[in-house]
Chains A and B, each alone.
Chain A
Amino acid sequence: MRKQAELLPGTLDLLVLKAASLGDLHGYGILLRIQQISGEALTIEQGALYPALYRLEHQGLLHTEWGLSDNNRRAKYYSLTAAGRKRLREETENWNRLAAAIAGALAARPQEL
């Protein structure tokens, strides 16, 4: 089994927003989508996903609607609202800045100082 990384605190919301931005999904679909786009490298604790979904909906970042799943069952579908898209953009920038800074810091060598 491949080694899977633990999620950093606060990154679950970002991943959920990203997954939802790629198309309307139900909760389970979001879980699968995150695993898929992270190349199966990230595990999402299933019990933590739904609180995150509800938190984001409560903040007006996600819109929900009941629809039918592939196997014709009633399922709740999540999609990004305009505020959600804006938040995703901001959070992505923040993350990239942070990641670049940390990567740069970790790559430092004595002669460069």
Chain B
Amino acid sequence: MLARVRSLIRNVFRRTRMEEDMAEELRFHLDARIEDLVRQSIHPAEARRRARLEFGSREACMERRRQARGLHFLDEARQDMRYAIRSLRHNPGFALAAVLSLALGIGLNTAIFSLLDAVVLKSLPVEKPGELSLVSEYPEPNAGRFSYPMFERFEQVRPAEDSLMAMSRVASMNAWLTGDRQPQTAAGQLVSGAYFSTLGVSPAIGRLLSGEDNRTIDGRPVAVISYGFWQNRFGGASSVLGREIKLNTAWFTIVGVAPRGFSGVWVDKPVDLWIPLAMQQGVHYSQDFSNNDAFVDRPWLPQDGIRC
């Protein structure tokens, strides 16, 4: 078996050489045969004719020898290729359809894989993605939504500090930088103080949000921006720290940039800005109404003297 493989490899790579060898061997054979016949006092011309005749077709012999060496598949592949190209040229409509469907098929597969890769295969760029759990409640449609009192109860039984955090949905907000006439759309998310520390991410520059920022209603209008937002809107300049940005109706001070590659926990909804949950009214965020036993039209955090 090994000898066969070796012989095949040698034959494939030294094909021309082999062909020459074959031809030379056949020439030698014919000449030797002619000499023998001449020695039997046959006229040289007749001897040549007879030797040729005895041997049969030269080309057929070479072909059979090539087959014997396992090279015929190369010849056949080349013929098939030529035939394929010829028929495609004769039938451009079919060729186009074939190429298009192949391209579409490959493209679609690539797209599906990219999606699968992002959603299923890649883990979150946080410290221990495997240890994260999303708390949810059944039945739908309010699964995953909890009132603040419920969240407080969770906080009382959490195993450690920095092990529980709450966040709103990702919302589209109007963002103005100082001097902007027109706002630009940015994806904002309201998060509790332990958001970043629970995920275990650290800032690229500046600082991330902490429990202090959520202590008082409307108390700390600070924001953390994503690395991508920093690069796109501020060119990655470190002077971004301390800059003011207006979201909907409230001004925020940028205090830090999240690490590169981190854009929130939902891959399909990358976040540009994170702001404290206590700033909910400032940005007129009302989509994430409370549920459980709380009022849906009140802010999530209890305020204005109302304990929800």
Q: List residues of A whose CB falls within 8 A of some B CB.
A: 26-28, 45-48, 50-52, 54-55, 57-60, 69, 71, 73-76, 83
Min CB gap A42→B, angstroms: 15
Give Cα A74–Cα B65 distance, bound, in whole angstroms. Answer: 20
Give Cα A47–Cα B22 distance, bound, in whole angstroms. Answer: 13
Query: Which parts of B62-77 form the interface with A (CB within 8 Å)?
Result: 64-65, 67-70
Min CB gap A102→B, angstroms: 29
Contact residues in B for A28 (Cβ distance below 8 Å) = 28-29, 32-33
| Of the residues A51, A71, A75, contact of B65 by C-beta under 8 Å | A51
- Tally of chain B residues near chain A (CB < 8 A): 28
B3 touches A76 (CB 8 A): no
**Stretch of B50-58, B160-168, B231-239 on the interface side:** B50-58
Give Cα A26–Cα B31 distance, bound, in whole angstroms. Answer: 13
Nearest A residue to B21 via CB reads: A76
Give Cα A54–Cα B54 distance, bound, in whole angstroms. Answer: 20
Min CB gap B18→A, angstroms: 10
Contact of A58 with B7 at beta-carbon distance under 8 Å, contacts A26-B28, A27-B29 already known: yes
Contact of A50 with B61 at beta-carbon distance under 8 Å, contacts A57-B7, A58-B69, A71-B35 already known: yes
| Of the residues B22, B35, B56, B68, contact of A52 by C-beta under 8 Å | B68
Q: Which of B32, B56, B64 has the most CB of A within 10 A?
A: B32
Contact of A50 with B26 at beta-carbon distance under 8 Å, contacts A45-B56, A58-B7 already known: yes
Contact residues in A for B70 (Cβ distance below 8 Å) = 58
Secondary structure type dominating chain A contacts: helix
A54 touches B61 (CB 8 A): no
Min CB gap A35→B, angstroms: 11
Min CB gap B208→A, angstroms: 70
Min CB gap B173→A, angstroms: 75
B32 touches A60 (CB 8 A): no
Contact residues in B for A45 (Cβ distance below 8 Å) = 56
Contact of A46 with B32 at beta-carbon distance under 8 Å, contacts A54-B68, A55-B68 already known: no
Contact residues in A for B65 (Cβ distance below 8 Å) = 50-51, 54
A47 touches B61 (CB 8 A): yes
Contact of A58 with B4 at beta-carbon distance under 8 Å, contacts A46-B29, A46-B56, A75-B25 already known: yes
Query: Which parts of B1-40 form the interface with A (CB within 8 Å)?
Result: 2-4, 7-8, 21-22, 24-26, 28-29, 31-33, 35
A83 touches B31 (CB 8 A): no
Contact residues in B for A83 (Cβ distance below 8 Å) = 3
Contact residues in B for A27 (Cβ distance below 8 Å) = 25, 28-29
Min CB gap B114→A, angstroms: 47
Give Cα A107–Cα B208 distance, bound, in whole angstroms. Answer: 104
- Contacts A48-B64, A51-B67 known; list 10 others, CB within 8 Å: A28-B29, A45-B56, A46-B29, A46-B33, A47-B55, A50-B22, A58-B7, A69-B32, A74-B24, A76-B25
Give Cα A98–Cα B7 distance, bound, in whole angstroms. Answer: 32
Min CB gap A58→B, angstroms: 5
Contact residues in A for B22 (Cβ distance below 8 Å) = 50
| Of the residues B3, B24, B25, contact of A60 by C-beta under 8 Å | B3
